[in-house]
Amino acid sequence: MTRPPARRQSLRQPNEDNPCDGCHECGLRCMAGIQMTQQEFGQIVKCLQSQDAKQIRRVLDQDKRVVWFEDIETEQCLFYDVTKRRCIVYPARPLICRLFGRVEWLPCPVERPVPMLSDGLGVIQAYATEKRATFAEWCAEEGLFDLGQLATEET
């Protein structure tokens, strides 16, 4: 995948402690239907509410389909900005997103030697005992706001 020049310029210098240079090749793994706990849902809601509604609407309205072959396509995460190639809830992203490149079963796609989490399996096992649902499912359960409303709100 070719990176836009602006993005290339913004890459940080990798170092021994953090060999990730922010290339964002892992962004294609930001798939629709990511599950989260209720606490993570609450953090994402706060993160969205702290941002410009127009920008959020722009991202929510994007076509998130990725066509691989004629009859094979996938859909990217609701929160993935396919134009700017970034996560709009990055500081509040769920655990599964935080584990990308940090555990053996979610490796860095360009094989940078990012340090592995020492107890990744224990972390995910503990997490698996918590109730998890997609953002849309939590919205329906909590009735905090609906995404359609957020996406059509005028500022």
If one asks whether residue 41 binds ligand SF4 (CB under 6 A), the answer comes out as no
Shortest CB 155 distance to ligand SF4, Å: 22
Q: How far apart are CA 97 and CA 79, in angstroms?
A: 12
Place of tokens 């209720």: 38
If one asks whether residue 138 binds ligand SF4 (CB under 6 A), the answer comes out as no
Which part of the chain contacts ligand SF4 (CB under 6 A), choosing from 56-64, 77-85, 101-109, 122-130? 77-85
Shortest CB 154 distance to ligand SF4, Å: 25
Q: How many residues does the chain have?
A: 155
If one asks whether residue 97 binds ligand SF4 (CB under 6 A), the answer comes out as yes
Residue 154 corresponds to which amino acid? E
Shortest CB 54 distance to ligand SF4, Å: 19
Between the two ends of the chain, the Cα-to-Cα distance in Å is: 35
Which part of the chain contacts ligand SF4 (CB under 6 A), choosing from 10-18, 73-81, 125-133, 140-148? 73-81
Which part of the chain contacts ligand SF4 (CB under 6 A), choosing from 1-9, 12-20, 76-84, 147-155? 76-84
Are 120 and 103 within 8 A, CB to CB?
A: yes
Q: How far apart are CA 79 and CA 89, in angstroms?
A: 7
Environment class of 41 (CB within 10 Å of its CB; exposed 0-12, middle 13-18, buried 19+): buried
Place of tokens 């798939």: 31
Shortest CB 70 distance to ligand SF4, Å: 26
Binding mask 15-34 for ligand SF4 (x = CB under 6 A): ---------------x---x
